[in-house]
Amino acid sequence: MADSQNPDPKQQDPTNRWWVDSGGKERLKPQVPPVNIAGAKFFRAGIGFSQELARERLTDNNLRIVKAAMPEEGRWSYVRLGEQAFSERERERITKDVALPSYARGVLVDCGRSVRLLVTGTPIGERLLDLTLNEAPSFDCWIRDEWVREIVYKDANAAIRAFKRLIPEYLSPEAVALAEEISARA
């Protein structure tokens, strides 16, 4: 006789352990477990996600970092976000390689395993360039809090070469004047 702590295996619910023969006279058909959709946990994590709010928070965060660092025109400031630091030698190489023109100001944001280069002009934050150097380097540009461009690069060197060309394309006084002129016509 089975007690309540150790029930008789013949009386157990066969759906809980469909691969075990329950020992009955009639063989039970295996119960097929429910099919899980690939990535279901990922999609559940995204329930209620507001891409617009996330964009605003990222833009606001970038702007807060730049304003807190208050870099001078033509110069880099440094902000470290975590305990782990990116290689100092690499940081120096990057800021030397990406020499800022007099109309731009930049913040090298040390995220530990990666760095981000935030570059803006005057007024601070009206045009904001963000180059993230990690496994998949990428460039993002915001003009008046509107995300206007994204580029993904094959490696950090290609990203840095392109970034040096993108700074004057978005921040030079000539580029800003041209963009304002085009905007006024529209």
Are the C-beta atoms of 126 and 120 separated by less than 8 Å? yes
pLDDT-derived band at 19 (thresholds 50, 70, 90) equals very low
Q: Is the entire prediction scored with pTM above 0.75?
A: no
Rounded Cα gap, residues 149 and 139, in angstroms: 8
Percent of the chain that is helix, strand, coil (3-state, to 5): 35, 20, 45
Rounded Cα gap, residues 154 and 74, in angstroms: 28
Q: Encode pLDDT of 33-80 as tens digits.
A: 555 555 555 445 455 655 555 555 555 789 999 999 999 999 999 999
**Domain residues of the chain, as ranges?**
41-185
Tokens 């630091």 map to which residue?
A: 85
Rounded Cα gap, residues 129 and 149, in angstroms: 10
Can you point out the beta strands (E) in 24-122?
A: 76-80, 105-110, 115-120
pLDDT-derived band at 96 (thresholds 50, 70, 90) equals very high
Rounded Cα gap, residues 151 and 142, in angstroms: 13
Q: Write down how long the chain is.
A: 186
Residue of 76, 63, 155, 73 whose CA lies nearest to 108: 76
